[in-house]
Amino acid sequence: MRPEALAALAGSTHILHAGDIGGQEILDALAAIAPVTAVRGNNDRGPWAERLPDRTTVTLAGHRILVLHDRGELDLDPRALTNLSAVVTGHSHRPAIERRDGVLFLNPGSAGPRRFSLPITLARLLVADERLDAELVPLAIPPAPARRKKR
């Protein structure tokens, strides 16, 4: 668990995790900050992960939010669900915020191990005047120590 991620999440009232969690210890660290709603990602294996759903819906501050790991598995038209405000996914680890047909689509990226050459980010959902918005939060990660050359 990156300390930078914990610091960025401090003060949260609820945490959503869209999978590729890494272990029960990550969920425990997040739960020490706020209640957690999490789904299983394709890299989550073992008894701890089997207890997690593939997808779930949560209502926060009056907004109904669908959480699933892979956006490619979205087998419904979000407009068909009344009161669906947002879809939160992970799988690609590419941070993105998009709004289509009044529905917010959010991929917070990855706040764990660096994935490919993608930035290390998380996201915040913001509620203002009954509108749900999101912001990506890049995490300032200290550079790795320089390696000494072998002679």
84-138 pLDDT tens trace: 899 999 988 899 999 988 899 999 999 887 777 889 999 999 987 788 999 999 9
30 backbone dihedrals φ, ψ, rounded to 5°: -70, -40
Average of per-residue pLDDT across 13-21: 96
3-state secondary structure 91-127: CCCCCEEEEECCEEEEECCECCCCCCCCCEEEEEEEE
Select from 1.20.81.30, 1.10.150.120, 3.60.21.10, 3.30.420.40 the CATH code of 3-138: 3.60.21.10
37-68 pLDDT tens trace: 999 999 999 999 999 999 999 999 999 999 99
Domain extents for the chain?
Answer: 3-138
Q: How many angstroms separate the CA atoms of 133 and 49, rounded?
A: 29
